[in-house]
């Protein structure tokens, strides 16, 4: 047991207090002691806490496999599998047909960067959506015969990522990095 000072974001000492028999701790100061990050979500009026153990440039598929999916196949460098888009090999991602994949993000990530393109021999127009906590953050329409493109989308420290494709034929999402 050791006494510690609770400090805010400006390193000023802050004090817990008791009101009507309940002890209140400053969230940011308590989280700092536990080596956790803190964000405020104004839309839901909630505080989000998460650990700082994930390094930058972490591949999504290494830290967060889908807990539910359909017409989905994972590709990682650790399982030695890859897929092709426009003749180039991609890994650390997935292909998805007319289906969905659900990922539990555990409020840990601010953004996601990835390449997306046609991953099947057919190359007609396809659509893929990235939805975080029931809010569509990015809808990508792959034009016929288009080259893979790189995107960065905000994850806003959300709880759930849903990837949905209503297209016949596979869409590839590769080199997925979460930050």
pLDDT in tens, 1-15: 678 888 887 888 898
> Considering only 36-45, 49-58, 85-94, which range has the smallest mean pLDDT?
49-58
pLDDT at 33: 78
Report, as an integer, the average pLDDT of 26-49.
78
Say how many residues make up the chain: 179
Where is 61: in which H helix or E strand? Answer: helix 60-63
What Rg do the C-alpha atoms of the chain give, in angstroms? 20
In the predicted model, is pLDDT for residue 55 greater than 60?
no
Closest Cα partner for 171 from 123, 102, 111?
123
In the predicted model, is pLDDT for residue 30 greater than 80?
yes
pLDDT at 174: 96
Distance (Å, whole) CA 152 – CA 150? 7
In the predicted model, is pLDDT for residue 83 greater than 90?
yes
In the predicted model, is pLDDT for residue 64 greater than 70?
yes
Contact 28, 48 (CB under 8 A): no
pLDDT at 37: 74
Distance (Å, whole) CA 56 – CA 109? 10
In the predicted model, is pLDDT for residue 79 greater than 90?
no
- At 163, is the pLDDT very low, low, confident or very high (cuts 50, 70, 90)? very high
The overall pTM is greater than 0.75: no
Percent of the chain scoring above 90 in pLDDT: 56
Distance (Å, whole) CA 151 – CA 148? 10
What confidence tens digit (pLDDT) does each residue in 86-124 have? 999 999 999 999 999 999 999 989 999 999 999 977 778
């Amino acid at each position: 047991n050791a006494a510690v000072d609770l400090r805010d974001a400006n390193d000023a000492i802050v004090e817990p207090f008791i009101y009507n028999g309940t002890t209140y701790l400053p969230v940011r100061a308590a989280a700092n002691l536990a080596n956790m990050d803190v964000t405020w979500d104004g839309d839901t009026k909630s505080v989000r806490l998460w650990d700082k153990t994930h390094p930058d440039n972490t591949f999504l598929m290494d830290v967060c496999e889908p807990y539910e999916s359909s017409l989905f196949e994972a590709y990682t460098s650790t399982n030695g599998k890859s897929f092709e888009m426009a003749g180039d090999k991609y890994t650390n991602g997935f292909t998805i047909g007319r289906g969905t994949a659900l990922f539990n993000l555990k409020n840990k990530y601010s953004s996601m960067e990835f390449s997306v393109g046609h991953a099947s021999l057919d190359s007609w127009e396809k659509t893929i959506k990235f939805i975080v906590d029931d809010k569509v953050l990015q809808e990508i329409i792959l034009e016929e015969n288009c080259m893979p493109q790189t995107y960065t989308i905000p994850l806003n420290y959300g709880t759930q990522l849903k990837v949905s494709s209503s297209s016949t034929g596979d869409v590839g999402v590769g080199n997925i990095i979460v930050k």
